[in-house]
Chain A
Amino acid sequence: MSVPVEVIFKRPEALRDRPTHYCPGCPHGIAHRLVAEALDDLGLRERAVGVAPVGCSVLAYNYFNCDFQEAAHGRAPALATGIKRGRPDTIVFTYQGDGDLASIGMAEIIHAANRGEKITVVFINNAIYGMTGGQMAPTTLVGQKTTTSPYGRDPEQIGWPIRMAELLSTLVAPVYVTRQALYTPQLVRKARKALHTAFRLQAEGKGFTFVELLSSCPTGWGMTPVEALEWGKEKMMAYFPLGEFKKPEAEEGGKK
């Protein structure tokens, strides 16, 4: 006798059935899934070309089930520019961390945004260099201790954490710039919606879209996964406010 089975939860087609190398409690898995769900929901997987960064998600091409290129550190938006200009029918996205995007790749991200490249940039901000062992990032919070800011980040010495979403929203060309967070199920649902909006706008040929996702790094922060999520919600969200900084007029909540 067969038991009726209803599938209520499954892996998105845009993700491969493969274990990741990420640390326990790392939100990269959540972010990967949200990107994959957006590609699935919009039917874009077979047109998608992702660009992996240098950093913890350097191996993202092993986990996504779509075409991928792997960039030099910080250069993902330049690769994405080349791909999209060469193949305008593809859906091109970069997936970058804070060291990659906001430090070594600052020129590439600002100019790709300023040219209005019709790509989607997914920016994972966990305020630390995870892959290299927990060094200070351009988004490391004031006072935050890392292996290269052992006394806590001192703004007199090294300046203040960079707010990328706000910075990019001062440019004319970008059509969608938002910051979301991955700290609670409710926030994850909002992040999912933001990624869906960004990919849809790209598919509609609207222009440059940017989704910053506040994340955590239990290993680099020296916390349990649960502590890290709480710390992120309290500290990260206090300095990096969530919201949609730029949105087309026609969108719900879009500014006139």
Chain B
Amino acid sequence: MTRVLMKGAEAVGEAAIKAGCRHFFGYPITPQNEIPEYMSRRLPQVGGTYVQGESEVASINMLFGCAGAGVRVMTSSSSPGISLMQEGISYIAGAELPVVVINMVRGGPGLGGIQPAQSDYFQATRGGGHGDYYTMVLAPSTVQEAVELVMDAFDLADKYRNPVLVLGDGIIGQMMEPVEFPEREPALVDKPWATTGCKGREPNIVKSLLLDPYELEEHNRKLQQKYERMKREDVRVETVDLDGAEVVLCAYGTTSRVCRTAMERLREKGVKVGLVRPITLFPFPEKTIQSLDPKKVKFILTVEMSLGQMVQDVKLYTEGRIPVHFFGRTGGVVPTPQEVVREVLKRLGKEVEK
């Protein structure tokens, strides 16, 4: 294994190829264009296919068709484009197809801006489109982790026959960091349900339409069992210094890096501070939050590049036992470690330096 210096977006593309993905459909949008550009260059070199769709709506439906044919497939976009894809993601979840969708989140609502944000948390973790469904959501905080999570995303999509979202932001996509690509064979699985032509078997039908209400209810219950299984088997979370922590920061992706720097400064000031970093946003690491000790933890501070989205989950799973505070910047503004430090000190009633 060799370490190479790579831009996040290109590392994401190469990780997909290493995971056996040979088909990419997408539509340009800032700040993630380096992913389709990389795929358009690399896929023909490895016998793959890159198609620039006429829109995000078309692209996600190309994913439906391709995944329905039993082929590993990916798209990438950014917030406004992901909104357009929600129709297709709902159909894909309904039809139980494995696809990987990268969202390099930018500021919203509407056209918003092109700077990094985390304001698509609600959309990502609550299904996003119509209907009673969830997508798995993976949130890398480094380029190395983005590589590993993109590779895992394909295996998880196949494991659950469900869309898997990788939620990054412009910082993850644009920054260059040294990465190592794990040497591992893609865990390809049989897909006997795929539409490959019915030679030697009964025809396969890939669809999300179930007109009988009892049948549709049964289908939804089956989907829910899948989401429960995700919660049992595939929650990922990193915790730092929770033992003895009086203050616990909770942050994912880019803001978790800001929090790490803030933690160093807080320790210098004698504050016992820990961190919960959800890696899977759905399934959310609810047990980690539930296991925090109200006798020791004075409060949890959730830090986000939004005006408060993940904080609702943190509140939900603390069940009122521990005060939960929020600090966030939004619209493409990244919170600084100093801001986080000041917020913690202020909440502790300590003197805040100007």
* Residues of chain A having any CB pair with chain B under 8 Å: 45-49, 51-52, 58-59, 61, 64-72, 75, 78-87, 89-91, 107-108, 110-111, 115
Contact = CB atoms under 8 A, between A and B. Distances in A.
A82 B87 contact: no
A99 B216 CA distance: 26
Contacts of B208: 70
Nearest to A44: B197
A46 B195 contact: no
B205 A67 contact: yes
B98 interface: no
Given A67-B204, A69-B65, A83-B65, 11 more contacts: A47-B197, A52-B207, A65-B198, A69-B68, A72-B88, A78-B64, A79-B61, A83-B66, A86-B49, A87-B196, A111-B54
Contact of A46 (B65, B198, B206): B198
Q: Which 8 A-B pairs have the closest CB atoms?
A: A82-B65, A82-B66, A79-B65, A70-B207, A78-B61, A86-B71, A111-B54, A82-B62
27 contacts: A46-B199, A48-B198, A61-B203, A61-B207, A66-B197, A67-B197, A67-B204, A69-B206, A70-B95, A71-B64, A72-B87, A72-B91, A78-B59, A78-B61, A78-B62, A78-B64, A81-B58, A82-B25, A82-B63, A83-B66, A83-B68, A84-B65, A86-B71, A90-B196, A107-B58, A110-B54, A111-B54
Contacts of B198: 45-46, 48, 65-67
Nearest to A79: B65
A61 B210 CA distance: 13
B199 A72 contact: no
A171 to B, nearest CB: 13
Among A45, A67, A68: residue with most chain B CB under 10 A: A67
B338 interface: no
Nearest to B209: A70
A69 B195 contact: yes
Contacts of A85: 23, 49, 51, 62, 66
Contacts of B87: 72
Nearest to B199: A46
B195 A75 contact: no
Interface residues of B, number: 39
B80 to A, nearest CB: 17
B33 interface: no
Contacts of A90: 69, 195-197
A81 B71 CA distance: 13
Contacts of A81: 25, 51, 58, 62, 65
Nearest to A72: B91
Nearest to A85: B49
B197 A48 contact: yes
A79 B197 contact: no
B197 A115 contact: no
A49 B206 CA distance: 10
B61 A61 contact: no
Interface in B168-199: 195-199
A108 B25 CA distance: 14
B68 A78 contact: no
A115 B203 contact: no
